Chains A and B, each alone.
Chain A
């Protein structure tokens, strides 16, 4: 019974002291004096506002990326007990006491520190010597730009961490593949690859490129697997399915779950509500939901409604009219109908109310029982305050002369009769007899006489139109476009007393209907689409740079500057490392091409194993560099030096790969090998020296004098702030 006691309980542990030492060093150099400076540094001002909104559970839309990164930062704030009360408005503003600076910056710093052992392990898994691996880790450790970026509340270090983790777990998985597939360890690393990939994508969309690279590598490996005729068809299929599950299904599910958590956390309405559709807004607590609660669901003849444009660009707005008329002649000499203006107005206003009227009847109240308006019905729209009818006719619109003018009809008794019949077309209907519903239905108004479609043109009217947005009747309706769609936002039935009582009676549970109808997938799709398509107007920034400047580090970014002491933090890399990385890339590509061409001619300079190692390591490092760097040439947004850091990390990993290859295969005799080692020691010491030299700009202390700062300006293009006395 106590047989297990017969054997002594043995715990053997192998500890790789290298790894431990690297981790400790990483932690030391990333976490040291983390809460200094006690002030907002650079993009903390940007991410900080989202952290605050998370703390207050207020909904926001950020077009810079998916929510996982923001949530991680907010998690730091949550652990530190941050209440979200801080005004993130200015770089350099002192943090107040309630902001837990240390814990906000902890997570990026931790991930940044862990990149050091990760780099070590990646090279080990690539079958390089521990010496080379140690070198790679040291290079990451002493890279000033990575240190700066990870010591602040920024997302690049988190992104790099997940990218490296994904690479490492894939390599682990691949190495296990040969000896023990379908074991627990195999599954663990395979799944971890997928998870890390989705986290990388979830932090920043840049992660997508590394994910693609990994998929491509996995694809090549799977292709070899298919060609392996020792495996049975079934086991090949199992292998492929397992990869599909872990590398496609799991990441997609994870990515969705980020949004699920994001949307669950942020349930209150906030400043970005207006960007979203009415249905989405109604699903948030406060805001629109407060207004729409309890309003009737089905539009009936006699309903009073406000109409919101579904596209809402350049800004969200409602169909509007007011007493003023179109000027008889525009500035360019064209004439107008001189009837009452119809515009789109970006604010809530009493003039946004319209009444749906049955053309066959005079009354403007809802009858008993209410007669709902259905798809295909013909209606008139009566402006609530002025009681004029929405009208269009063959007159050119003020700013879009190819379209028809929309007006509220005034009878001038000239040869211009009213043409105010509109056909209601519900675009997102399920059947052709669908009822027009508040918020949910997206409706197109087609003019009966001319088949023009009511549309927001996007241009804003001159002074006479109070800079409101132009509404036109598009004659040649070229298919579906959101600028032609409208949805009812606010809605109430006609004013008679008895009807109101019935209304309460019949329609009290409408609010529940609406938010239930909007499923998570609908909300996710909308939010994701908005994130991808939301365009900030082109902003110029003092420190923005072009991708070509990055390779040679011709640019830097001043992150923070103390107005009194003159202490400053810059994003400046370790110049020597950057230069060496470029040289290594160049050497690699040249050697690779040389070997490749020679092998094609059946001349093998290096053994087959070495060649395979050379290809796989290079494919990963150069490939990683390329996919994280080249896409920036095609991007039109404002770019900064820190966008280069993921690519740089890959480039740094390449340096020891190239160095070891050179020692192993090109230095044949002992003497050059010794010389090479001596050179290596000298080179590493100079890297350390450069790191020490620039560390005042990396850590923000100690404060340097103007002369010292001038001495640090190694390149003329660097912008180091030197105070004039």
Chain B
């Protein structure tokens, strides 16, 4: 039947009886499918209408253009989705999903009224911002600053100690902070909705993706507490959304909306890395997308080189410079706010600490340059490094030579004091008759321990813990020792003859006789060493902070004191140092061998959740676990997507004659789906290579992409199936298929909602529990 034949054609299946009336822009094919190259020329009034404001998807172009021969028909009979054809058609579902999203995230937000899981960290850090005390964390500051700000605005005064999970909040106002996180977490759903809508031009795909996120117990749980993840995901999805938006503005470059979305992408990128370094993956995604974008532009010979240059500069400015400036600004605020000494001091260098009010290095006056006869303390530059220390105790029998111990000690102590002397004379430099002689880079010196008058000494005995290094001891009586007491003092990156500065100079002490370098191995000595940190002389000449020291205290009555303010590090220096400390802190988070740790392959199969609150039967228990139906659907979809994409791409490569509708479908599948798939890969695969401790919640950014992919893939699949059938049949398949998927998701949410909203009563392993039948995997512990 010829009529049927024309009706088969998708998406311009004639009249409003088209099965896919919810495919707004696709009916103006050239605009959407070829957003850049050819289309640009022909599009006078592109989808990117100025009146549609920043939303440049052109979703108002819903009315299908009828084929020329087709007689105009009256408006379609009313259908279930008929209202969507009206201008509210896109906004109404958006409002609806947003409402649902907010409702699901804010429901029972205040429960449980005690500290849950990592709230103990991030809530505490929020309090630090309110109290302005300095602390250290492995993540960049933005997320915690926002939490602090939310707490501050909502009237939390920063006095709750957040000591351990399970502590009751009592009268403290925690709702503000939780509400802030829940707000950002709720925004994910509209963001995902708009992204998918923009990519696939299909309302049902967008609704499917949105409903997956709304009804995923994991996303709900993760959004309801004071955590960094909702903030991270907010910026991440924001970046993806604005990237997609500015891509669809490609036909009107340099328009207001184009600039708006491009710079918004940059702002969101800065936000994403500012919360956690995982944000780098989305930077990578945007970067790859931009490179591809530029490549396409470069191939467009109608563009002059000047225009190309403008394109390039605009992207460099908005996607590189702008985020960098914002990122730096976050740190500027961070350092400005945290001006008081606090628990983070010890992780940073002495020079850094001198900035902090209340630190004992703040506003201290010491002589600036080292001179012979100065009494000093030396601090190791490794993270939380100790002071060079010695005491009357000897190394025990069997541990190297039986001489006086030299260790690194984390606390201030009189035994940390050393006197710098010339290696070949034992004159008292503090004698007023002597002239001041400064210590210079490259000098050979002797370090005499002030309390015991023994010299810092090393020799070719093995060190107590690190067997390949040499032992360091205190040797000699009243400063008279032997040639093994001589050390060459050098500064990193300076020339010979320069004076050595307090705090700022990074000092290396090379043992003259053996050529080894004084360092702290970081290993704790046994009881005989009072559990202080081992100090060794390493023969392996490597530039590590372990082998570098700086002078902290400095006493020399013959020299004028200067205020340490002069030596305060500049902003770029503290920025660099805090990054070094963060990186080292991150790489220090290694799992222990006998610990059960979460593995990346556990995540997509929802193998195991995280206990947020409560252990026993009587507790209010919250368990972070994805809605298994949703997650397994996502997992299956990834395989399905790969299969469909492979078929499509091979068919095209083999030159199989495809109908226009298939071409369109595969375009959406490969192009839009490909972007999302790339996002998923970028947010998932790198975890396989990470050495640090991993947790289940690290998968959630990838899960967002996976959910969007599910929306797009199933929508495409259903359209494809529908396209093979007759028009009415196809419409039914399409509608019922989508509905069935959504109902499945809603029903599974109904089953699993206690995971997020709290369970009280017997554990699921108990047959009496209402959750017993839902414990589908033995590894779930609710």
Residues of A within 8 A of B (CB): 223, 226-227, 229, 233, 236, 311, 313-314, 455-458, 476, 478-481, 483, 539-542, 544, 597, 600-602, 634, 636
Contacts and interface: CB of A to CB of B under 8 A. Distances in A.
Interface stretch (B4-12, B197-205, B216-224, B293-301): B293-301
A540 B521 CA distance: 12
Contacts of A480: 596, 779
Given A458-B593, A634-B689, A479 B608 contact: yes
Interface stretch (B369-377, B394-402, B647-655, B698-706): B647-655
Contact of B593 (A226, A313, A539): A313
A175 to B, nearest CB: 23
A476 B781 contact: yes
28 contacts: A226-B650, A226-B653, A227-B653, A227-B654, A227-B655, A311-B593, A313-B593, A314-B593, A455-B594, A457-B594, A458-B592, A458-B593, A458-B594, A476-B615, A476-B781, A478-B596, A478-B781, A479-B607, A479-B608, A480-B596, A481-B594, A540-B468, A540-B538, A542-B539, A597-B298, A600-B299, A634-B689, A636-B691
Contacts of B81: none
A313 B594 contact: yes
Interface centre among B295, B650, B653, by most A CB within 10 Å? B653
B776 interface: no
Interface string B561-596: 000000000000000000000000000000011101
**B contact face: mostly helix, strand, loop, or mixed:** loop
What 5 pairs between A and B have smallest CB-CB spacing? A458-B594, A478-B596, A481-B596, A483-B594, A479-B779
Interface of B: 295, 298-299, 301, 468, 538-540, 592-594, 596, 607-608, 611, 615, 650, 653-655, 689, 691, 779, 781
B547 to A, nearest CB: 12
A480 B778 CA distance: 10
Nearest to B303: A601
Contact of B654 (A233, A456, A479): A233
B594 A311 contact: yes
Contacts of A478: 596, 608, 781
Nearest to A233: B654
A602 B301 CA distance: 8
A379 B691 CA distance: 40
A32 B718 CA distance: 72
Contacts of A313: 593-594
Nearest to A331: B527
B653 A223 contact: yes
Contacts of B607: 479
Nearest to A309: B594
Given A226-B653, A636-B691, 11 more contacts: A227-B653, A229-B655, A314-B593, A479-B596, A479-B608, A540-B468, A542-B540, A600-B298, A600-B299, A602-B301, A634-B689
A485 to B, nearest CB: 12
A311 B301 CA distance: 63
A468 to B, nearest CB: 15
A544 B593 contact: no
B594 A601 contact: no
Nearest to B691: A636
A640 B615 CA distance: 50
Contacts of A541: 540
Nearest to B777: A479
Nearest to B305: A601
A474 to B, nearest CB: 8
Nearest to A224: B653
Contacts of B608: 478-479
Nearest to A311: B594
Nearest to A717: B541
B654 A226 contact: yes
A544 B593 CA distance: 26
A601 B653 CA distance: 25
B298 A456 contact: no
Contacts of A634: 689
Nearest to B592: A458
Contacts of B593: 311, 313-314, 458
A227 B468 CA distance: 60
A556 B413 CA distance: 43
A458 B592 CA distance: 9
Contacts of A233: 654
A631 B653 CA distance: 33
Contacts of A223: 653
Contacts of A455: 594
A480 B607 CA distance: 11
Contacts of A311: 593-594
Nearest to A225: B653
B301 A229 contact: no
A600 B295 contact: yes
Contacts of B301: 601-602
Contacts of A542: 539-540
Given A540-B540, A597-B298, A229 B654 contact: yes
A214 B592 CA distance: 37
A313 B595 CA distance: 11
Contacts of A236: 654
Contacts of A314: 593
A544 B615 contact: no
Contacts of B781: 476, 478
A226 B652 CA distance: 10
B546 to A, nearest CB: 11
Contacts of A481: 594, 596
B653 A544 contact: no
A544 B540 contact: yes
Nearest to B607: A479
B467 to A, nearest CB: 10
B755 to A, nearest CB: 17
A632 to B, nearest CB: 14
A391 B586 CA distance: 39
A116 to B, nearest CB: 36
Contacts of B298: 597, 600-601
A601 B689 CA distance: 39
Nearest to B299: A600
A233 B592 CA distance: 53
B314 to A, nearest CB: 19
Nearest to B778: A479
Contacts of B689: 634
A626 B49 CA distance: 47
Contacts of A539: 468
A594 to B, nearest CB: 13
Counting chain B CB atoms within 10 Å of each CB, the highest count among A544, A601, A602 belongs to A601
Nearest to A475: B615
A251 B603 CA distance: 31
B673 to A, nearest CB: 19
Nearest to A540: B540
A456 B594 contact: yes
Contacts of A540: 468, 538, 540
A444 B206 CA distance: 47
Contacts of A597: 298
A659 B611 CA distance: 63
A719 to B, nearest CB: 9
A600 B611 CA distance: 54
Nearest to A545: B542
Contacts of B539: 542
B685 to A, nearest CB: 13
Contacts of B615: 476
A544 B542 CA distance: 10
Contacts of A602: 301
Nearest to B608: A479
B301, B593, B611 pick with most chain A CB within 10 angstroms = B593
A313 B611 CA distance: 27
A476 B781 CA distance: 9
A568 B717 CA distance: 70
A267 to B, nearest CB: 30
A392 B607 CA distance: 29
Nearest to A314: B593
A634 B298 CA distance: 34
